[in-house]
Amino acid sequence: MLRRVLYIDLDKKESFVEDRYDLFEEWLGGTGVATQLLLEECPEGADPLSPRAPIIFGIGPLTALFPAMTKTVAAFKSPLNGELGESYAGGRLAMAMRFAGHEGLVIRGAAESPCYISIRDDEVKIKDATSIWGIPATVVGYILREVEAGVGRRSIIRIGPGGERLVRYAGVVVDTYRHFGRLGLGAVFGSKNLKAIVVSGTEDVELPNSKRYRDIYNQLFKTVVQTDAMEKYHDIGTPINVNVLNQMKGLPTRNFQDSSFEAAENISGENLADNYLLRRVSCAHCPIGCIHIGMLKTSFSRHHEFEIRKISYDYELIYALGSNLGVTTPEGMLELIEACERQGLDAISTGVVLAWATEALDRGIITEEETLGVPLKWDGVEGYLEAIERIVKAPNDFYSTLARGVVAASDRYGGEDFAMALGGNEVAGYHTGPAFIFGLAVGVRHSHLDNAGYSIDQAAAKKPLTPEEMVDAIIAEDDARGVYNSLIGCLFARGVYTPDRIVEALGSVGIEKTKDDLQILGRKIFDEKYRFKLREGFDLSKSRIPRRFYETVSTVGMVDPETIETMMEIYRERRSWG
Amino acid sequence: MELCETIWGSRRSGEAEDGKGRDMKDLRGGGDAKVAVSDERKKRRLKVAHPERCIGCLSCMFACSRINTRRASLDRSAIRVKTQGGLEGDFAVVICRACKDPPCVRACPRGALEKRENGRVIFKRELCDGCGACAEACLIRAISIDSEGKAIKCKHCGACVAFCPHGVLEMEEVEE
Ligand code: SF4
Ligand code: SF4
Ligand code: SF4
């Protein structure tokens, strides 16, 4: 097992490697270790965009060794909500880190002028990036591919103009089609003058107990390629949810004013797969291949001259830049996705911010004076494209406020009842009921993937659940994901990695744990994340839940604020927070 | 002498993988893809039957290194999946095509590669000094030199076939 953490200091332009057995023994890897590194490295109260705030990356003990163990975690202080910033991305980064020999990566300080970091095994170079500053995230990939070594085994992660200009929800693009999307890692890169990181390595991993390893490997591989759950990601992909949620009244539409969308069929996964899907690709060492790439063909002259763009799409993007903005055509939606890719913005946050602005304009809270004449209206793709550019360029107070997120915008202009964020993070695409809302409020990073409240709601739609049952399910999920995210697996394969199989997989690579050990660890990891959150000022009792959630019918009917209150009380009790 | 890396069909290790692999394919309804069977007389070779179906998951590369070298490694894999212009481009799947008059054999100055009468090419790892002449001689770049300075070349064992989720790879029988 590797236990090596690579520290890079951008102020001093130096790097060193340290073995951190202590951390990996106790915290396994992935998010468990990354959270500890964040607690160590980030001074209390540090400005998230100052050189004092670090960036941490981590992989886990199963990285590159098992199918779908493809994720890298990023931990940082979020410039969007000022507390725990955590995000996961697939692609080839985890494999590249593993073969470069680093299980953790800590970036300190800030560069004086634009730079990028090139990591090749233990060799670290901080290189000048002046000539690529300002270039779209999509294009930076092509450029660095030419100048850097390691074809086929490397990973290139980079920001776009959005991150450079510190849009608080800018993300980091990983290998063209995957992202550290949520909570503003892109802005943290930007604040450090860090445009990109290229990682490649030539090490390999000797497999300790070969037969045991191969047995569990084969079992997992087989299950991953066969299960129905996988079928969903692999065939239509996550966009299969568009039609499903639409039918069950859970598809947020026009800023959550509706929970079903009359044009859902147009932007559905089925329609996209039938008429736009060009191909599917996969993260390194994942046989699922859920990454769906659509082809947007637009003609730019009357003489059959076309522009072809290849754009990866997923459910959350279709919600955020499709139904939630009332966008009725796949072309319009794909174009908006591409705009976010170029600028390097998180699509969910961007969509929610634009949806708020559209409604605010509609209700007269803001006027075209603020929008600088940009007509923000549902399905108004042209206007949205212009607005995205202006959010990045920030030509006036209004757009620079939008660049700080929907909470900042509603604090400044009003309309908090329909500013769709929880814990300061713009919400993902579900209006399924109380478990989703509550799960977002308490989740460590206020993301739908913290505890998947939407799937608890879905279960409740079939057979009603009591608030106790929902809370227990959320807690169990919160804790279990802390462990899974320490391995680190893709959440799409979570069903395949049962506790027994995780124990066996770890054992096969020499890490003996029991199911109980893992359960306790999950709880501890959760607590540690809350330690960081509380330290940085997060206060659950001040949760601001937008009224809109209670005004629009959800999958389980109208949601009653009292249910959320009750769940909150039970939750505190269960977590022994008194 | 270690009879481990032969160009033609038989295999020394990883038989179990084959059996399992077949199950996997069948259960997935993976069509008529032929799976490697250990048979000394039949000549079988690995074929990239549907390169355009590749999703770049690298499962085949990890299978090859895991099963044949007991490592999780890209370098030790005899099959290589290359990106052409990043993930936006197409994938190229590169394997040894088992030439009739293998230039790699002719190029090796140390006799580490030897073509036998039954059609097999034997690779003697201990004779290999990593000079790279074989790799140079193979225009499709199907041979590479690993981090220990030894040649890595496909022995057509078929183990990777079962781990391709997209039916890109097949074993085919070869007439000679
Ligand atoms: S399921 Fe998709 S996101 Fe997850 S590892 Fe596989 S290809 Fe990557
Ligand atoms: S046939 Fe065997 S040696 Fe050749 S690439 Fe596949 S697993 Fe490797
Ligand atoms: S296993 Fe199949 S789909 Fe995956 S990289 Fe290899 S050839 Fe391509």
A462 and A409 part of one domain: no
pLDDT at B119: 60
The number of residues making up chain B comes to 176
A392 and A437 part of one domain: no
Domain membership flag for residue A91: yes
User: Is the CB of B165 less than 8 angstroms away from the CB of A99?
Assistant: no
A292 phi/psi in degrees, rounded to 5: -100, 125
pLDDT tens string B121-143? 778 889 999 999 999 999 988 99
Cα angle B160, B165, B170 (rounded to 5 degrees) comes to 50
pLDDT tens string A522-541? 999 999 999 999 999 999 99
User: Is the CB of B17 less than 8 angstroms away from the CB of A218?
Assistant: yes
Burial of A104 per CB tally in 10 Å (0-12, 13-18, 19+): buried
**Which of A233, A234, A315, A317 should be mutated for ligand 1, with most atoms under 8 A from CB?**
A233
A518 and A486 part of one domain: yes
If you take atom 4 of ligand 3, which residue's CA is the nearest one? B57
Domain membership flag for residue A163: yes
Determine the average pLDDT of the residues in A337-341: 97
Q: Give the mutation candidate from A63, A95, A144, A285 for the B interface (greatest B CB count, under 10 A).
A: A285
- A480/A208 Cα distance (integer angstroms): 26
Determine the average pLDDT of the residues in A156-182: 97
Q: Does the pLDDT of residue A487 top 80, yes or no?
A: yes
Domain membership flag for residue A456: yes
Q: How many other C-beta atoms can be found within 10 angstroms of the C-beta atom of residue A459?
A: 15
Q: How far is the CA of A372 from the CAs of A349, A383, A392, A409, in angstroms?
A: 21, 11, 14, 16
Q: Which of A414, A443, A460 is the last residue of a domain?
A: A414
Q: Does the pLDDT of residue B1 top 50, yes or no?
A: no
CATH 3.30.450.150, applies to B22-174: no
Domain membership flag for residue A209: no
Cβ of B155 below 6 Å from ligand 2: yes
pLDDT at B30: 33
A20 and A158 part of one domain: yes
Domain membership flag for residue A421: no
User: Is B147 at the interface with chain A, CB within 8 A?
Assistant: yes
C-alpha distance from A489 to closest chain B C-alpha (Å): 15
Q: What is the CA radius of gyration of chain B?
A: 15
pLDDT at B120: 64
Cβ of B142 below 6 Å from ligand 2: no
Q: Give the mutation candidate from A199, A203, A222 for the B interface (greatest B CB count, under 10 A).
A: A222
Distance from residue B119's CA to the centre of ligand 1 (Å):
41
Chain A residue with Cα closest to B70: A207
Residue B11 confidence class, pLDDT cut points 50, 70, 90? very low
Residue B100 confidence class, pLDDT cut points 50, 70, 90? confident
Cβ of A68 below 6 Å from ligand 1: yes
User: Is the CB of A204 less than 8 angstroms away from the CB of B76?
Assistant: yes
User: Is A310 at the interface with chain B, CB within 8 A?
Assistant: yes
Atom of ligand 3 lying closest to residue B166 CA: 3
Distance from residue A144's CA to the centre of ligand 3 (Å):
25
Domain membership of residue A528 as a residue range = 432-494+514-574
Query: Do A193 and A494 contact (CB within 8 A), yes or no?
Result: no
Chain A neighbors of B56, CB-CB under 8 A: 281-282, 284
Q: What is the 3-state secondary structure (H, E, C) of A311-326?
A: EEECHHHHHHHCHHHC
Task: Tell whether omega for the bond before A570 is within 30 degrees of 0, i.e. cis.
Answer: no
Q: Which of A171, A200, A229 is the last residue of a domain?
A: A200
The enclosing domain of A478 has a CATH number of 1.10.599.10
Q: Does the pLDDT of residue B18 top 60, yes or no?
A: no
pLDDT tens string A212-265? 998 999 999 999 988 766 676 778 989 999 999 999 999 999 999 999 999 999
Share of chain A above pLDDT 90, in %: 90
Chain B neighbors of A207, CB-CB under 8 A: 66, 70-72
Helix (H) or strand (E) holding A104: strand A104-108
A346 and A480 part of one domain: no
Q: How many other C-beta atoms can be found within 10 angstroms of the C-beta atom of residue A109?
A: 18
Residue B89 confidence class, pLDDT cut points 50, 70, 90? confident
C-alpha distance from B58 to closest chain A C-alpha (Å): 5
- A474/A458 Cα distance (integer angstroms): 13
Residue B42 confidence class, pLDDT cut points 50, 70, 90? low
User: Is the CB of B166 less than 8 angstroms away from the CB of A145?
Assistant: no
pLDDT at A1: 60
Atom of ligand 3 lying closest to residue B56 CA: 5
| Range ranked top by mean pLDDT from A164-173, B95-104, B154-163 | A164-173
Chain B neighbors of A208, CB-CB under 8 A: none
Domain membership flag for residue A98: yes
Distance from residue A158's CA to the centre of ligand 2 (Å):
35
Atom of ligand 1 lying closest to residue A288 CA: 6
Determine the average pLDDT of the residues in A354-366: 98
- A136/A153 Cα distance (integer angstroms): 23
A488 and A523 part of one domain: yes
A295 and A188 part of one domain: no
pLDDT tens string A24-48? 999 999 999 999 999 999 999 999 9
Residue B176 confidence class, pLDDT cut points 50, 70, 90? low
Q: Does the pLDDT of residue A171 top 50, yes or no?
A: yes
- A252/A245 Cα distance (integer angstroms): 9
The enclosing domain of A274 has a CATH number of 1.10.569.10
Helix (H) or strand (E) holding A165: none
A386 and A463 part of one domain: no
Q: In A404-548, where do the E strands start and end?
A: 421-422, 425-426
- A215/A144 Cα distance (integer angstroms): 39
Q: How many other C-beta atoms can be found within 10 angstroms of the C-beta atom of residue A506?
A: 21
pLDDT tens string A379-425? 999 999 999 999 999 999 999 999 999 999 999 999 999 999 999 99
User: Is B25 at the interface with chain A, CB within 8 A?
Assistant: no
**Mean pLDDT estimate for chain A:** 95
A271 and A318 part of one domain: yes
Q: Does the pLDDT of residue A578 top 70, yes or no?
A: no
Q: Specify the range with the lowest mean pLDDT, choosing from A99-113, A374-388, B146-160.
A: B146-160
pLDDT at A150: 82
Q: Does the pLDDT of residue A351 top 50, yes or no?
A: yes
- A496/A500 Cα distance (integer angstroms): 10
What is the DSSP secondary-structure string of A388-436? HHHHHH--SHHHHHHTT-HHHHHHHH--GGG--EETTEE--S----HHH
> Which residue among A151, A282, A310 sits closest to B56, beta carbon to beta carbon?
A282
Q: How far is the CA of B115 from the CAs of A452, B1, B79, B133, B160, in angstroms?
A: 59, 15, 21, 16, 24
Domain membership flag for residue A502: no
Q: The whole model's pTM is what?
A: 0.92
Cβ of A291 below 6 Å from ligand 1: yes
Q: Does the pLDDT of residue B29 top 90, yes or no?
A: no
Chain B neighbors of A284, CB-CB under 8 A: 56-58
Structural domains in chain A (count): 3
A293 and A194 part of one domain: no
Atom of ligand 2 lying closest to residue B36 CA: 1
Determine the average pLDDT of the residues in A419-434: 97
Q: Which residue has the higher pLDDT, A335 or B27?
A: A335
A123 and A241 part of one domain: no
User: Is A217 at the interface with chain B, CB within 8 A?
Assistant: yes
- A122/A532 Cα distance (integer angstroms): 30
